[in-house]
Amino acid sequence: MSEGIVTRITGTLSLLVFFFMEGYSQDALVPPVRLMFYNVENLFDTFNDSIADDDEFLPGGLRRWTYRRYSAKVQSVYKTIVAAGEWEPPALIALCEVENRKVLEDLVYGTGISRYDYGIIHEDSPDPRGIDVCLIYRKDKMKVIENRYLIPHCMKSGEFLTRSVLYAECLVEEDTVYLLVNHWPSRRGGVLAGEELRKTIAEMVKNTVDSISLRSGIMSKIIIMGDFNCTPDDNVAALLTGRYASGIKMVNISASALPGNGTYRYQGTWEMIDQVIISESLIDKNARFSIFQPDFLLRYDGKYPGPAPFSTFSGYRYKGGFSDHLPVLLDLSLR
């Protein structure tokens, strides 16, 4: 083949590559930023905490919580995180039902995710059982500018006996993202159990969103996520959606999950109680919500037909599974 023909072919290929690249946006060539929320179902260590009611999770407690079982639990959370990341672990992972900072350190520094240099944000909550809301984040993917834990101003010290709300302001790909992580009181004892307290927390979260919007504009990128212990159509959860007083609009993206899907199964019925609510500006960032439900996180229910989350316990009976909740994922194309 002559040198002239080779030159023409090379030039043609270069043009084809150029037009191919021009036909795709840069965002399409860059993987999205993945955020994860996971209720890990009682991630307790085996040591007694004198100021928390953790006796059932001691080696001599009702659950016979041994170091071997604890280590298996930590490895289970690690396996879930790695699998949820597909190519690599998520940039940010919000967790609830975590006993203390030590169990986070065992996860971050004592498993295979240690190579990803996760930072830890944790604070002991007022919850009597000592379970907390926290997050870990990849320092190579994002920077946490500010964080604090919120409790309602209207409640006196000692009255608020549940999980505080974690607020974090993060810098992700040169975008500021505001995050509010929740674990609302349970509905044990009936739907109305804890209703007023959930409403008080929802109003606090809503006021915080309004404050962010008034300070940073209605295009602020805000994410509310967590275990709300109620479904998206619940009256209290609905307080966090729609147009706010500041003008910002919040959308419950998890409400788009297909009927029959959910993150928690109660008496054979799936419920979407682990949710993600985002500001309207993030819809333009190709926000995509999903429930992470690989086969290894599921087991067929012996009492009700169909699969259920493969939990660590069923009542007080040890099953050796992962969690009674499924994780949820949010992918954002911030670049």
What would the pLDDT profile of 229-240 be if each residue is shown by its tens digit?
999 999 999 999
**3-class SS shares of the chain: helix, strand, coil, % to 5:** 30, 30, 40
The least confident of 5-14, 64-73, 88-97, 192-201 is 5-14
What would the pLDDT profile of 14-45 be if each residue is shown by its tens digit?
433 333 344 434 445 567 999 999 999 999 99
Domain of residue 214, residue span: 30-332
Does 294 reside within a domain? yes
Q: Hey, what are 49's tokens?
A: 């905490």
Does 285 reside within a domain? yes
What would the pLDDT profile of 71-127 be if each residue is shown by its tens digit?
999 999 999 999 999 878 999 999 999 999 999 999 999 999 999 999 999 999 999
Model pLDDT, residue 194 = 82
Q: Flag whether pLDDT at 3 surpasses 70.
A: no
Does 23 reside within a domain? no
* Angle subtended by helix axes 101-110 and 67-85, to nearest 10: 60
CATH number at 317 reads 3.60.10.10
Does 290 reside within a domain? yes
Number of domain units in the chain: 1
Model pLDDT, residue 286 = 86
Taking all residues of the chain, what is their mean pLDDT, rounded to a whole number?
90
pTM: 0.90
Model pLDDT, residue 335 = 67
Three-state DSSP state, 219: coil
Model pLDDT, residue 26 = 47
d(CA 293, CA 305): 17
Q: Flag whether pLDDT at 9 surpasses 60.
A: no
| Bigger pLDDT: 21 vs 254 | 254
